[in-house]
Amino acid sequence: MRCLVAGLLCLSLVGCASAPQRPPAYYVVQSGDTLYAIAWRYGLEWHELARWNGLGEAARLEVGQRLVLRAHGRQPQARRTAASRAVEAVVPPAVAGPPPFFIWPVPGRVLGEQGQPSGGFGLRLEVSPGEVVRAAADGRVAYVGAGLRAYGQLVIIKHPAGWLSAYGYNRVPRVKEGDLVQHGQVVAEAGEGPLPDGGMAPQLYFEIRRLGRAVDPRPLLPAR
């Protein structure tokens, strides 16, 4: 009962999502992984993931590289190299600022809510196949790919002050990692996603995160 109540009581800004599973102590980098994709998968903030591993935001990960996913699993201070300490010093602390100006990525109605195995929480939005998907706010594309389970072809955009937005179930991405985008700019063509009762249908999955944790997008979007 306590878990049920906790799941229903949500602040309008920080939102509510299914609690992300506790990440393993370490993660071995796979082909196609990026710092943002790994942080997204485990409900972490990229600043923390970078700090624990002495990485910069644009660090190039190597297949087979082992990353610390929990603060208590980090290497002792004496074992970190001078280069790692220098990188840690330039990774800013994770401090969330006010949300950017968000717009709806597509005009279609909300079909329902969607939880994700990672603890993510988002909205399923009505689309037509191939309909353009637009960036909900200004930012930089942090991830494009299909490597994250349950999101299909996914685009993640990094916004200022600790905010991220994600656009899943796409047919074709129209941006690449590192691109700067403005709100309203086309980032993908909509595709199909799974229905709660089985089957597939045209839809867009839309998620917003603050410091790595999913929030309810609706209070942050213009009223319809």
Give the residues across from 206 on adjacent strands: 123, 167
Q: For residue range 117-143, list pLDDT tens digits in order.
A: 666 789 999 999 999 999 999 999 999
Which CATH architecture is the domain 2-90 placed in?
Roll (3.10)
pTM: 0.72
pLDDT tops 50 at residue 154: yes
Token pair for 119: 């603890």
Q: What pLDDT is attached to residue 118?
A: 64
Please provide the size of the chain in residues. 224
Q: What pLDDT is attached to residue 95?
A: 61
**Mean pLDDT of all residues in 141-156:** 90
**Mean pLDDT of all residues in 182-201:** 95
Q: Which of 167, 122, 123, 119 is nearest to 143 (CA)?
A: 167
Q: What is the CATH number of domain 110-220?
A: 2.70.70.10
Structural domain spans, the chain: 2-90, 110-220
Q: Which of 161, 132, 139, 153 is nearest to 205 (CA)?
A: 153
Q: What is the dihedral of CA 186, 189, 192, 195, to 10 degrees?
A: 10
Between CA 131 and CA 121 the distance in angstroms is 23
